[in-house]
Amino acid sequence: MKRFAAIMIISAALALCFGTAGMCEVGVTDTEIHIGQWGPQTGPAAPWGAVARGTDAYFKMINAEGGIHGRKLVHHYFDDAYNPAKTVAGVKQLQEQEGMFAWVSGVGTATGLAVKDYLMENKIPWIGPSAGSRHWVEPPQKYLFNVYPFYMGDAQLLCQYAVETLGKKKIAIAFQNDDYGKQGVEGAEYQLKKAGMELAVKVPVNVADTDMIPHVMELKKAEADAVLLFVTPGHVARIIGTGKAMQFEPTWMSSSTCGDFPLMMAITKGLSQGMITASFGLAEPTGHVGEVQLLDNPVQKMVAKYKTDAFDKFAAQDERYGYTFLAGIGFAEPLVEAIRRCGKDLTREKLVKELENMQNFKGVLGRINYKPFDPKDPTCRLGQGEVFLQECTENGGSKILTDWVKTVYLPSKAE
Amino acid sequence: MVNLIQMIVSGIAVGSAYALMGLGMVLIYKASEVPNFVQGEMALAPVFISYLLMNSYGAPVWVAFAGALVFAMVLGCILEFAVLRRAKDPNVLGLIIITIGLEMILLGLVSWKFGADQRSLPFPISSYDSVVIGNIFISTLDLLTLVVALVIMTILFLFFRFSKLGVAMKATQQNEIAARLMGIRTNRIKMVTWGISAMVGSVAGLLAAPVIMEPFMMWDPMLKGFAGAVVGGMTSLPGAVVGSYLVGVIEHLFGGYVSIEFKSVVAFVVIVIVLCVRPSGLLAKHYIKKV
């Protein structure tokens, strides 16, 4: 009898849960939209914690302007310390206890991969992963929309510029020993093959390595006159510094992850001047090639607006206004725009539809395009497929070297 | 041939930082009989304090460095006094876990208080200048680290040989009960050992900081220093030094001739080999059983 009563009570409770859930989309009420994000607020990748804080300030700015169709964006972001196990725990907890409508950004390839299957199986939209891994679009997932332009595109444009404009003969690469670095290698090899060249040497770098002397010795031995650095900003600083001490000073080039020139100038004590990196936005190249732009350049009106309305008003006291913070805004812009386009009646399916119809949406990053879902075509969820090149000037400004260039998506080679 | 010499020179240059960390670990191992995993963070916090002194208070370099060393001494003492000593009847595993916990706490505190952005410490000697002899180069900063490491080792040697405190420390390490009976305040000695160990480690940190500073910077030198200490013998101070330089050189030779990818792994392979062949380390007395 007792057991029968227990079963009846549990069934009734479950029925109530499912009954009420059917009434509204998960994570959406009449007044709120719940969006989740993970990020490394502590730990080895903590400098990138600014991404989630940037999104937070952006959402607060939107709420201050009245929200979207009368709803406020509630941003739930937690610290996963760049540890995939914590990402899984945090995502599951937020999703199952609070119920997120969608997930935005999220720094890290390994961290994102840990939760990708869970989110996709539960048909939860995830927009703008903060990492340029090919895993987001291979195979393409209906609910996963990439924004970050892939690193291989950076490598392609850098090599093209090095060969065609700078006339470099021996291009080498120091690459982080993971998908980020390997994309750099593939992009470089693809582009150099077109010019009938090869990489002079490929030097792998482990993330935990602090001593770059052997790596620079290899690069010097190969007599490279241009070196691609697909590593973290900390390693770039060490490599350039060791290179200077070894009297080895080629043209240093890097991916968009090291495009934060004020930071680079600070940590390299000025040695990064002249470094060329790819950039995914936060400056306006079209019509301004050859100019020097800083973050507060008058061309970028949107960036200026974010500075006054999001950063100045809502960012923490000692937050640094920079690339990473703004990237957090850039990755969230497509999601916000898609929510706007859905109108008052907001569901996940509608969100997906609006995103698929997005053509040439321009925020502070480059143009973002999606297509209706095709499981065989990675570009249907590619997002931004263009980058431009910038050079670091003596006060941390960006000299625009090229306009936006569309790069080629290279599928992963079968292992 | 030039490459070989260059690799050995670079290995020695890099080994100095490992040697300082290894020295710190052996000091504590001999006193408290625990491999100290908070060594890296005991070195890290003073570095950030010196950055704070230089940036927020505009202190000149030498004042900031002196302040950092004082802070290191105090930090080491506090850690031993407040945490380790309070462990009730611990076994080695328990103590190790305590040190790992302290490591996480200190790392978290530093990240939280100072933020995790990379920075670099202003320093009169540029980290990018180098001394070039023929075709061999060694960066000026690395040369300074080497000199400082040798000076510190000499000071420690003289300290243990000739000063009252040093002899008392040696006595405590050799036989704690007998030392107590002779009137040595062993608890205080252990506290001071931790303080000195933190100071030695923070010198390594301060000399690495001009290149780049971030909360995770001491992780690698600490592990390699630990490797060096194991190779040389956890109970032998000269052993820690020799072992660390050995690890540095082997690492660079391996990286240059065999594989850069696995360069860091080689340090730990060396540990395994040494532990199999000579478990107490290369330079330590071989104990069959400690009674």
Residues A323-362 have pLDDT tens digits of 889 999 999 999 999 999 999 999 999 999 999 999 999 8
Query: Within 13 Å of residue A338, how many CA atoms lie on the same side as its CB?
Result: 30
Q: Could A234 and B7 be called an inter-chain contact, meaning their C-beta atoms sit closer than 8 Å?
A: no
The angle, 0 to 180 degrees and rounded to 10, between the axes of the packed helices B61-78 and B39-56 is: 140
Six-digit token pair at B198?
């933190």
pLDDT of residue A20: 45
Residue A93 forms part of a structural domain: yes
Compute the nearest-CA separation of A42 from chain B (Å).
6
Question: Binning pLDDT at 50, 70 and 90, where does residue B4 land?
Answer: confident
- Burial class of residue A181 (count of CB atoms within 10 Å of its CB; 0-12, 13-18, 19+): buried
Q: What is the CB neighbour count within 10 angstroms for residue B158? A: 11
Which chain B residues have a beta carbon less than 8 Å from that of A233? 118
In angstroms, the CA A401 to CA A399 distance is 6
What ipTM is given for this predicted complex? 0.72
For A111-137, the pLDDT digits (tens) are 898 999 999 999 999 999 988 888 899
Helix (H, G, I), strand (E, B) or coil at B132: strand
Specify whether A132 is located in the same domain as A99: yes
Residue A265 identity: M
Residues A139, A161 within the same domain: no
Number of A:B CB contacts under 8 A?
105
Given a cut of 70, is residue B115 above it in pLDDT? yes
Write down the pLDDT at residue A4: 79
The pLDDT tens digits of the residues spanning A301-327 come to: 888 888 888 898 888 887 888 888 999
pLDDT of residue B201: 93
Do B120 and A46 lie within an 8 Å CB cutoff?
no
Tell me, what CATH number does A245's domain have? 3.40.50.2300
Q: What's the gap in Å between the CA of B174 and the closest CA on chain A?
A: 36
Whether A100 maps to a domain, the answer reads: yes
Query: Taking residues B80-100, what's their average pLDDT?
Result: 86
Asked whether residue A90 falls in the same domain as residue A186, the answer is no
A277 has pLDDT over 90: yes
Q: List phi, psi (to 5°) of B272.
A: -60, -45
For residue A164, the enclosing domain spans 151-279+389-406
Q: How much is the mean pLDDT over chain B? A: 87
From chain A, pick out residues whose CB is under 8 angstroms from the CB of B256. Answer: 214, 217-218
- SS3 state at A252: strand
What is the distance in angstroms between the Cα of B28 and the nearest Cα belonging to chain A? 25
Q: Is A317 on the interface with B (CB under 8 A)?
A: no
Task: Report the candidate in B247, B257, B239, B260 with the shortest Cα–Cα distance to residue B221.
Answer: B247
In this structure, the answer to whether residues A85 and A164 fall within a common structural domain is no
Q: Is the pLDDT of residue A19 over 50?
A: no
Q: Residue A66 above 80 pLDDT?
A: yes
Confidence of residue B291 (pLDDT cuts 50, 70, 90): low
- One domain, residues A88 and A33: yes
In sequence order, what are the residues at sequence separation of 6 or more whose Cβ sits closer than 8 angstroms to the Cβ of residue A303? A282, A295, A296, A297, A326, A364
Stretch B71-97: mean pLDDT: 88
Nearest to A27 by CA among A353, A373, A339, A337: A339
**Is the CB of residue A403 less than 8 Å away from at least one CB of chain B?**
no
pLDDT at B289: 60
**Beta-carbon count within 10 A of A363 CB:** 21
SS3 (DSSP) at B89? coil
Average pLDDT, chain A: 88
Angstrom CA distances, B10 to A167, A249, A366, stand at 33, 19, 44
User: What DSSP assignment string belongs to A362-402?
Assistant: ESSBSEEE--S--TT-GGGG-EE-EEEEEEE-TTS-EEE-S
Q: A360 with A393, same domain?
A: no
Query: Which residues in chain A have their CB less than 8 angstroms from residue B132's CB?
Result: 247
**Structural domain contains residue A294:** no
Of A4-8, A52-56, B92-96, B145-149, which gets the smallest average pLDDT? A4-8
Within this chain, do residues A134 and A193 fall inside the same structural domain, yes or no? no
**Model pLDDT, residue A371:** 92
Test B120 with A43 for CB contact under 8 angstroms.
no
> Would you tell me which residues 252-281 of chain A have a C-beta closer than 8 angstroms to some C-beta of chain B?
263, 266-269, 271
In this complex, do A210 and B220 lie within 8 Å of one another by their Cβ atoms? yes
Count other C-beta atoms under 10 Å from residue A84's C-beta. Answer: 17
pLDDT-derived band of residue A69, with 50, 70 and 90 as boundaries?
very high
Is B137–A247 a contact, with Cβ atoms under 8 angstroms apart? yes
Residue B83 class from Cβ within 10 Å (0-12 exposed, 13-18 middle, 19+ buried)? Answer: middle
Does A13 have pLDDT greater than 70? no
Q: Is A211 within 8 Å of B211 when comparing Cβ atoms?
A: no
Q: What φ, ψ does residue A317 adopt, rounded to 5°?
A: -55, -45
> Smallest CA–CA separation between A257 and chain B, in Å?
14
pLDDT band for position A17 (50/70/90)? low
Nearest CA in chain A to B262: A206
What span, in angstroms and rounded, lies between the C-alpha atoms of A125 and B197? 52
Which residue of chain B has the CA closest to A271? B128
Tell whether A11 lies on the interface with B, counting CB pairs under 8 A: no
Chain A CB contacts of B126 under 8 Å are 269
List CB contacts of B190: < 8 A, sequence separation 6 or more: B31, B32, B80, B85, B172
Please tell me whether the peptide bond between B215 and the residue prior to it is cis, using omega within 30 degrees of 0: no
Mutation for testing the B interface, residue in A86, A107, A209, A213 having most B CBs under 10 Å: A213
Q: Residue A25 pLDDT more than 60? A: yes
d(CA A364, CA A330): 6
pLDDT number for residue A21: 44
Domain ranges of chain B: 19-217
* CA distance linking residue A87 with residue A53, whole number of Å: 17
> Do A170 and A315 share a structural domain?
no
* Residue of A44, A215, A245 with shortest CB distance to B216: A44
Mean pLDDT, rounded, for A8-18: 63
Summarize the confidence of residues B47-70 as an average pLDDT: 90
Percent of all residues in chain A with a pLDDT value above 90, rounded to a whole number: 55
Closest-approach residue (CA) in chain A for B211: A238
Q: How many Å lie between the alpha carbon of A135 and the closest alpha carbon of chain B? A: 24
d(CA B227, CA B211): 23
B274 close to B284: Cβ distance less than 8 angstroms: no
Contacts of A245 in chain B (CB under 8 A): 127-130, 137, 139-140
**A140: β partners:** none
Q: Range with the lowest mean pLDDT among A10-19, A58-67, A82-91, A279-288? A: A10-19
Residue A316 covered by a domain: yes
Report yes or no: A203 at the B interface, CB cutoff 8 Å: yes
Chain B residues in contact with A49 by the CB 8 A cut-off are: 116
Q: Which residue of A lies nearest to B217 if distances are taken between CA atoms?
A: A210
Q: What average pLDDT does the segment B238-250 reach?
A: 91
**A131: distance to nearest CA of chain B, Å?**
18
CB A150 within 8 A of CB A257: no
The answer to whether residues A372 and A393 belong to one domain is: no
Residue range B169-227, pLDDT digits in tens? 888 888 888 999 999 998 899 999 999 999 999 999 998 888 778 888 888 889 899 99
What is the count of structural domains for chain A? 2
Instruction: Check whether residue A266 and residue A196 sit in a common domain.
Output: yes
Confidence of residue A171 (pLDDT cuts 50, 70, 90): very high
Find out whether B280 and B29 touch, Cβ atoms under 8 Å: no
**3-state secondary structure (DSSP) of residue A72:** strand
Structure tokens at B266: 């080689």
Residues of B in contact with A204 (CB under 8 A): 260-261
Residue A369's nearest CA partner among A413, A411, A412, A334 is A334
* Full DSSP string of A75-125: EEEEE-TT-HHHHHHHHHHIIIII--SEEE--B-HHHHHHHHHHHHHTT--
Question: Are A85 and A114 contacting, i.e. CB atoms less than 8 angstroms apart?
Answer: yes
Region of residue B115 (left: phi > 0; alpha: psi -120 to 50; beta: else)? left
* pLDDT value of position A22: 41
